[in-house]
Structure 1
Amino acid sequence: MKICVFSTNYSYRWLQNIHKLDIENVEFDIVFYKDLQHLTEIFKENYLKYTAVLCSGQIPYLHIKKSCPAEFASIPFQFIDITERDLYFHITKVQYENPGFRFKDALIDFLYEENNYLSLKEWLPEEDFPYTLSTSIQVFGEPNAYELVAKRHLELLEEDKIKYCFTRLTNLFTYFSHVDVMPILVTPSLKSMEAAVQKLLKEVEVYNLTLSQVVCGHLQFTFAENDFLENEYRQVALYKAILDFNRKFGYSLVIYRSSLHNEIITNFSDYLHITNDETKCSLATFLHEQLPFKVKIGWGIGQTLAIAQAQAEKASSYCLKPFTESYRINKEDKLLGPLDGTNAAAIVEQAHSFLEEIAKETNLSIFYLERLYDMTRTFDKNSFTAEEVSIHLSVSTRTANRLLKKLTEYSYAAIIETLATPSGKGRPKNLFDLRLEQPDDTD
């Protein structure tokens, strides 16, 4: 596997250690960018050459996610994060050199909700907590992220509120030429880099499984009222046209005929080719040119063939125009389309506004709520232990328990069973039922 690692020249001093990782069948190629505009350009030029992409930090990761959403979604992507171990290593060093060090005299710009403030909030009193850049990692996705980080540090220094500037931005020192304080650079350890790469390799596995998932297409022709022969002709003509499409473009779509519709089965990889990465459906174009009647095309993908079939049939019901159209419903029940080239996978669906309401009510991060909701869809169930939640959200079991406890307080979760450990020793585990349904989910 070839992994592209995007970085600035400033980060190369620590990032070059990635070549020391002993990971079989993985080759790293470090590509440098001068600024964020240059990053966008070289990413678009290079990403198709690689199995996956890794960023040296959250700024290039979030910038690509915002500036190139289609390309970002088409390849496994991760960034190397600072871990609790990395932070405490540097804190210990500073405390040794400065016995009077206090957390409240510092700004640590890489603490935010998404990394659970590296667990500092679990033991450090609020009055002693360090200054932070923002409550969310999303601030690093702003076009002027570097300037925002520097401004925050410098303003607090000028106001004499801090004495220590902890940062993971290797170029932050370039903004400090006119002040006496130098930022304390916290860089990921080799162990943190390995953890990020292993996480990325898991994403590659999931991505490859996704490409091999079964996709169902539901093709329904318009019926001619009270004309049995015409309907029989349309059924045969549609079947023949799909065969011609297979032959002309080299696909191997499996076709099933019924009196009401035709169904095709393919894999996700071929589906992406047929729909040009969900922008324009070549099958819809071909059938429009070949047949004198309208065909409704719906695509569906799910954990099982039955779910994919149901999604495909539902997607086809959105084809309301008087000509052949194509829509898709994805595993999050979002409707994408029409796939006609004018709308690159437009989402015709309400955003998860109900999760935003839950976030306001419970004071929990929307980031965690979205991942919990996606868990229920991915695994097609609502019941999880705190240990399962911690694994899938990449948080500590303590944090998972805190999230579940808060959801339980507001009736968005409930303990439905207490599970004894297999050995009969140790604390029993609670099984929580998550109740994060959309308003229509219960209809």
Structure 2
Amino acid sequence: MSRIVVFSRVYSLAWVKQVTSLDFKHVDFAFVSYDSLVELKDLFIEKIQQVDGIIFSGQIPYFYIQNHFPDIQVPMLHFDISAEDFYRVLSEELYRNKEFQMQRCSMDFIYEENDYLGLKEWVRPEEFPQLFTNTIQIYDSDDIYDEILDYHLKVWNTGKIDVCMTRLTNLPQLLEPYGIKPIVIHPSQKSMKEKIESLLKIIKLNKLIENQVVIGHLELNKNSDNVVDLDYRQMSLHKAILDFGRINKIKFIIHRNALYFEIITSYSDFKEITNDMTKCNLALYLTNELRFPVQIGWGIGHSIQDAQLSAQKAAANNKSPVTEAYVFTKEGQLVGPLGQLAQLEISTQTDPTLDELSSKLHTSSLQLQKVKAIMDKLQTNLLSAEDLSSHLGITDRAASRILKKLEEQGAATASLKQQKKLRGRPKKVYTIHFDDLI
């Protein structure tokens, strides 16, 4: 079952909901309406984690969200009128209105990016319709709906048009006081079905990619001075791998060999472990937990054999005397080492104050010690999930759970911090209050 959320202005819901009558048996549609693009931005943030794909009622909300959330990886498309839809409506108008002149018609849905729906191929420049814009780039505006309304009014009041064609469903009631009756064009059910089918193909492809096999090859140094304590190192490494999986709620299949371990996981978990192949949380975790280095190689493949071979190649290229990770992709590309490890110094001395705080918060003293060490290193009590993950070698999701628990116990207060580029979702940060509880 694929979960698709459909974002639509309130006025467009009637025609948008026609998708439920189309033959999509394994799709769960959820309809979310909004009144303004600012409201859409908030609703988008709320719904993005719950769906496999997103479709917008038109090009305006689609382009607006794409510009404000350029890094979102959830598949997104928008309903649009096809050339067939447009020429059907145009033919009806030509049949009904014998005095229709193309150059005296305003349109807000034709631009360079949709090839002007073929008009430039047969309409002479002097007979071309009055266009709101020649490019979709102008739609990146909080006030775009008002701007479109003002445009149609302007060309009407200056006597340039007799007919108005629009994609905006609520435009008729806004133009009615001025005696203007616009022609509203909706995508046909055929166009809507084709768009949903395209979105489902993208979702299916993404799921195939997410289910690729990934193998991690974790190799101990073969130096002669390892031999005596090899058993100890193997047990320590095995325990650390299990602890990493437990902390991050990631299930590994672990194979143990004399000098190395293999862990089998999915591509989606691999992306989380390596932050999309930029920083290996497992390497950082092992650096903090073990007193000896481990060479990590990740291999991606469509079969276990392919992934195994790639992981071994990645590990073989890892010549570092410290714990680092490399990736060998299915395209044969070697990536690494992944990121700079932010090592953390944690005191091994017992801290009675933290022990007392541990009892109050029902949180392990070691975990509190790690959080305190991060604050000392960064010289701030304002921490984000990214701060914890980059220092503790855990995923952002696991780090968020730690901070959330501290908040629930009254040891932290959450707030939102806007990103420096002023785009994307504001980052949640936590003010840690250990001193207030001691």
What's the counterpart of residue 225 of structure 2?
229
* 1:2-401 → structure 2 map (5 Å cutoff): 2-70=3-71, 72-73=72-73, 75-173=74-172, 176=175, 179-215=178-214, 217=216, 228-230=224-226, 241-242=240-241, 245-246=244-245, 249-253=249-253, 265-275=264-274, 281-292=280-291, 338=339, 341=386
Q: Contact conserved, 1:301 with 1:331, CA < 8 A, in 2?
A: no
State the TM-score, normalized to the length of structure 2.
0.61
The verdict on how the C-alpha distance between 1:158 and 1:47 changes in structure 2, with shifts beyond 3 A counting, is same
Q: How large is the RMSD of aligned CA atoms in angstroms?
A: 4.6
Which has the larger displacement, 275-284 or 96-105? 275-284
Q: Point out the structure with max Rg over C-alpha.
A: 2
CA contact (8 A) 2:4 2:52 kept: yes
After alignment, is 279-288 or 162-171 more displaced?
279-288
Q: Give me the whole-angstrom Cα distance separating, in 2, the residues matched to 1:145 and 1:319.
A: 56
Deviations 1:303-355 (A, max 9, x none): 7886998799789999999885788989898989749836999xxxxxxxxxx
Q: Secondary structure at the match of 1:176?
A: helix
Cross-structure match for 2:435? none
Identity %: 34
Deviations 1:258-291 (A, max 9, x none): 98x9775532122244356778754234213212
Tell me the CA shift for residue 64 of structure 1.
Answer: 2.9
Equivalent AA in structure 2 for residue 204 of structure 1: I
* Counterparts in 2 of 1:190 and 1:244: CA distance versus 1, 3 Å: same
CA displacement, residues 361-412 of structure 1 (integer Å, 9 cap, x when unaligned): xxxxxxxxxxxxxxxxxxxxxxxxxxxxxxxxxxxxxxxxxxxxxxxxxxxx
Show structure 2 runs of 5+ residues with no match. Answer: 342-385, 391-438
Separation in 1, partners of 2:285, 2:18: 52
Contact 1:316 1:326 in 2 (8 A): no
Query: Residues 250 and 174 of structure 1: is their aligned pair in 2 closer, same or farther, counting only changes over 3 Å?
Result: same
CA contact (8 A) 2:310 2:329 kept: no
TM-score, normalization by structure 1? 0.60
Q: State the distance in 2 between where 1:303 and 1:163 align.
A: 60
Deviations 1:65-93 (A, max 9, x none): 333445x41x3322211111211121112
Q: Is the 8 A contact 1:113 1:135 kept in 2?
A: yes
Answer 1 or 2: higher relative contact order, Cα 8 Å, separation at least 6: 2
Indicate if the aligned counterparts of 1:7 and 1:31 stay in contact, CA closer than 8 A. yes
Evaluate the alpha carbon distance shift between residue 199 and residue 318 of structure 1 in structure 2; reply closer, same or farther with a 3 A threshold: farther
SS at match of 2:54: strand
- Say whether the 8 Å CA contact 1:246–1:253 is kept in structure 2: no
For residues 316 and 99 of structure 2, what CA distance do their matches in structure 1 show? 68
Kindly provide the amino acid, as one letter, of the partner of residue 185 in structure 1.
Answer: V
Question: 1:40 touches 1:64 (CA, 8 Å); kept in 2?
Answer: yes
Q: 2:346 matched to which residue of 1?
A: none
- Counterpart CA distance in 2 for 1:88 and 1:247 is 59
Pick closer, same or farther for the CA change 1:315–1:52 going to 2, 3 Å: farther
Relative distance call for 1:294 and 1:172 in structure 2 (3 A) is farther
Amino acid corresponding to residue 95 of structure 1 in structure 2 = L
> CA 1:98–1:330 in 2, change beyond 3 Å: closer, same or farther?
farther
Query: What per-residue deviation string (whole Å, max 9, x for no partner) do you get for residues 225-263 of structure 1?
Result: xx642599698565764455346645225669898x977
Compared CA separation, residues 266 and 119, structure 1 to 2 (3 A):
farther
CA contact (8 A) 1:315 1:329 kept: no
8 Å CA contact retained: 1:319, 1:327: no
Q: Which amino acid aligns with 1:130?
A: P
Post-superposition offset of 1:110: 1.6
Question: Quick one: distance in 2 between partners of 1:155 and 1:308?
Answer: 66
User: What is the distance in 1 between the residues matched to 2:238 and 2:213?
Assistant: 20
Please state how far the C-alpha of 1:8 moved relative to its aligned partner.
1.4
Shift in Å, 1:4: 2.0
Q: Return the offset for 1:209.
A: 0.8
- Cα deviation digits, residues 131-150 of structure 1 (max 9, x gap): 33344434334333223333
Cα distance in structure 2, aligned partners of 1:121 and 1:332: 45
The verdict on how the C-alpha distance between 1:228 and 1:152 changes in structure 2, with shifts beyond 3 A counting, is farther
Rounded to whole Å, the distance in 2 between the matches of 1:117 and 1:315 is: 53
- Counterpart secondary structure, 1:91: helix
CA contact (8 A) 2:283 2:323 kept: no
Summarize the Cα distance change of 1:69–1:145 in structure 2 as closer, same or farther, 3 Å threshold: same
Q: Secondary structure at the match of 1:54?
A: strand
**Deviation larger for 127-136 or 317-326:** 317-326
Aligned equivalents of 1:296, 1:278: Cα separation in 2: 16
| Structure 1 residues 343 and 230: CA distance shift in structure 2, 3 A | same
Aligned residues: 339
